[in-house]
Structure 1
């Protein structure tokens, strides 16, 4: 079985580091149901027996270029990988690499940069990532759509008042619930990242939550809530994007006005 401590990208071969200084922080999510895999980076096995639905703890990683290969369990490293992607990791980045199904059900790898820009006092950030073999969806908070027509493999994010919300995911333009509802406790100064993964046709849709903390904009902010719970969510408030975001995955910020809020949808 996979143990988070076995994820040691920081121990990858020294030649992986390029001219950039510093380290990145990287997590890996396995979002392909029914497939146990082994993950390699630059020829070194990093995640043996990696189970579906597992999210590693964040680990330090030297900046550089990494050849990521994902093999069916015990078929690497000399066989044909099920997935392969060259990932450029800039120093200082906080990122998550996701093995998941595309909209058509084919396996793919996507790299996401996690937004760590400071958050205003009393606010929390929500990021929703569609990495499931499923059609476009809307994300609702307390019954109101706040992220609309989100498609695989894109994300939407926004800053909201810290506290509890009830959230669910519906098929785009309808009230047909695909996932949820669930209560989500959004903590001040935290980016709660929710992944919708699996397959709609195979009835394996599921949620995974990742929490990025420590983004309080100033001391003495208004406390609200505790650690985030596993669910989906969304709401408004346009948030900034780190300048190095393009180094990991080409992205353009597109403002989307929804229900009186303004959110940022990152196109990939």
Structure 2
């Protein structure tokens, strides 16, 4: 089973694209800015990274990494990494549940890597390249990402659909006047919320990224929020009030990175072991 899981991780590493399309590269930096979003329910892990294949406790990238957690950005120099993933608390001197060696990390990228369930409930990995282009003065960016085991959804504001037909693992975005959006998620074509409503703060000069995650069948759908600051185009005041979502939106181009492919692969392996 372990060899099969390692093959799964290696395959994920080999097949993830490294195209960093669109306006998503970090400005004039050799380091990659990486955020990891854990959206696989009921799975807590430790993630190790090293230039060597021997892992020690002080080389943990993430420990007790729980579902619903969004990490702080990690700045990693471009280069080659070896990764190992263990069930939380396991001795890293033993055999990892999943490992991936020779992972190439491109410099200068701003990326969110979401380990989540696909529409059918299978753990998977989706890398999102973050749009870090400046926002207009007084505006912020709202991004909604569908990473839940659920069919297509509509995103509602004030009870009205504003993003419609959003499918896993896609996203929609809009630049809005800074303020508060009362948002909810409903199955496509309906207005009965399956998540929310919840107030989402759209900050001036920042990207607020909302992940819908969990499983509709297991009735554990939830939201996770990531914020990227520093998108100011010029100094300005922050207007108060409630932002209204425009009807026209443009999805962010998806890119890829192999870093932490093992996180999603572990989710697949853990479920396979639990069913064995």
Task: Give TM-score scaled by structure 2 length.
Answer: 0.69
Aligned in 2, Cα 1:235/1:70: closer, same or farther, shift over 3 Å? Answer: farther
Aligned to 1:33: 41
User: Cα 1:145–1:85, aligned 2, differ >3 Å: closer, same or farther?
Assistant: farther
Mapping of residues 56-67 of structure 1, within 5 Å: 56-64=71-79, 66=81
**Residue of structure 1 equivalent to 2:61:** 46
Residue 11 of structure 1 corresponds to which residue in structure 2?
none
Higher strand share: 1
Would you say 1:201 and 2:201 are equivalent positions?
Answer: no
Larger % of helix: which? 2
Whether the aligned pair in 1 keeps the contact of 2:47 and 2:86 (CA below 8 Å) is yes
Paired residues for 1:74-85 under 5 Å: 74=90, 78-81=95-98
Work out the CA distance in 2 between the residues paired with 1:104 and 1:183: 29
RMSD: 3.1
Q: CA deviation at 1:26?
A: 1.1
Inter-partner Cα distance in structure 2 for 1:71 and 1:171: 35
Deviations 1:119-144 (A, max 9, x none): 01121100111111111111122222
Partner-residue secondary structure (3-state), 1:110 = strand
Q: Distance in 2 between matches of 1:53 and 1:122?
A: 30
Greater RCO, CA 8 A, separation 6+? 2
Query: Mind listing any 5+ residue stretches in structure 2 that lack a counterpart?
Result: 1-27, 259-276
Structure 1 alignment gaps of length 5 or more = 1-19, 227-232, 250-268
Going from structure 1 to structure 2, the CA distance change for 1:237 and 1:55 (only over 3 Å counts) comes to same
Map residues 186-265 of structure 1 onto 2, 5 A cutoff: 186-219=202-235, 221-225=236-240, 235=246, 246=255, 248=257
Residues 43-192 of structure 1: pairs in structure 2 closer than 5 A: 43=53, 44=55, 45-64=60-79, 66=81, 69-73=84-88, 74=90, 78-81=95-98, 89-192=105-208
